[in-house]
Structure 1
């Protein structure tokens, strides 16, 4: 197993059957070894700096009905909201004062693309030096092009799974894996720094589907790779499904760091929700980005993708000092720069 991990470190890839062995037979000692190697790679490329992104959850209205998601269209039990342009800009101003130079605008798949194009235009005009990241789901090619022209730099769109049968177990009729992959191809072609990723331990996921995901991400070569554990939401069809495993999430984080040494890989809110030290464990497994929440405090609990989502304390923009202390405790510091992808 150690020789497999060392070869992955050296060559940045393995054969599909070797990935299968790594995912299915990794013991604790091997996990410690791959985490340490991934941490070395991250330190070699980024130093002990962790990039911060200011997350603004612009709204929880969604036209989709994904079986795993708390803001799915069928959930009648959550209070819907959508931030207006002035509120989003006020969040950016607050974030800019705190030192953020990347804003991540994330929301359910709403139809008001015109408003979001205006928002991006306004942010770009007021803050010419920031990076603007969008995570607004599947759109027509022309909408992505207009987002880019308005000044957005990055786009996050997890593919969730590259296996069509698995995809159909997670999503209702009317959504398709082929359209999701078309979106990612569009984003890369248009010129966005593009992010994709998966939920680790999503219902019906197997070692084979995970290997497919690894090989797809290798082929796509995204600038950002977002992975976190599946966490159930009580008002979804998957309410009783078990959470994804910390061990497997940390293993995959390290695999992706060894395969993509320069990628921007967040230690996600889902990890921090799964375990109190989750964020730190993600960083020690090779992650180099965290996304504190800049959304209005009064709205945060409504953006409930899964139960008990961490959005306060060190997960919040106003908790930057606490975050700084927690990072210092494991030997890292905050980098308030834009933190663009750079393949050296």
Structure 2
């Protein structure tokens, strides 16, 4: 992390003891697992948030420091480690970007009074006191995007494909309701384990059902693998794809899209269809100034983590966030860029 101190190792911190005058922010980021390709972006943007807060005097005169936890491991492992670290005083607040099965595990075991900000799109449902979700729920994220694609791309026959854990299952439930409301239909559905070794059966399902659209609820490396195989099979030229987890790192990893039929409904994109997102561009400029010309891309996950760190250390910020719902957005992949489609909510 050029331009800033690197995140502290939590176990080293416990050995030496927490520093006085420092507010320690636990950063649960997937350093391993299917979402690990997003870790460089996430670490850089979290570091930028900390640098900016420290440049204005920190929090009540206390310097911020990040304490890294690898949230790409098994949910029970991440949750047990984070709970032990919280109890031991390794960090004062936890900010996390990871899959929702890890999120659920953390909610179950964090000690009473622990503050935890979860930043990516989430699975919906209730959450415990002290936990703030800054992302968007499955229905809010997908319903308007699906309706737009049914109307404007004539995608009426849908296959739902995802990984078998809590977030994709919630996305599929929301998609069934949303598509029924448009007159479209679900003609196939499958949930697979993390790291599927053979995408052939999923591609066969798309062919066999004569689908017009595929809703993808895989993440990270698995989403990249599926999209590569989808293109190799020639299905990208006639079948619309929509993903609630496709961000800039994943788009780069698949080599971009030249068909105009790959869509994303993540909550932030680098530019919009009616002009640039000035706040996003300003963030990218500050990031490049801090980390240099080879800095990782500012992806939607990293942008959420940046906002989450700023929120977690702001006075009363977590209480304000509970009332805020991110706006629904839809973007089309154009080469290596995601371009927002304007007017989504009124389409």
Structure 2 length-normalised TM = 0.29
Larger Rg: 2
By relative contact order (CA 8 Å, sep 6+), the higher-ranking structure is 1
Normalising by structure 1, report the TM-score: 0.30
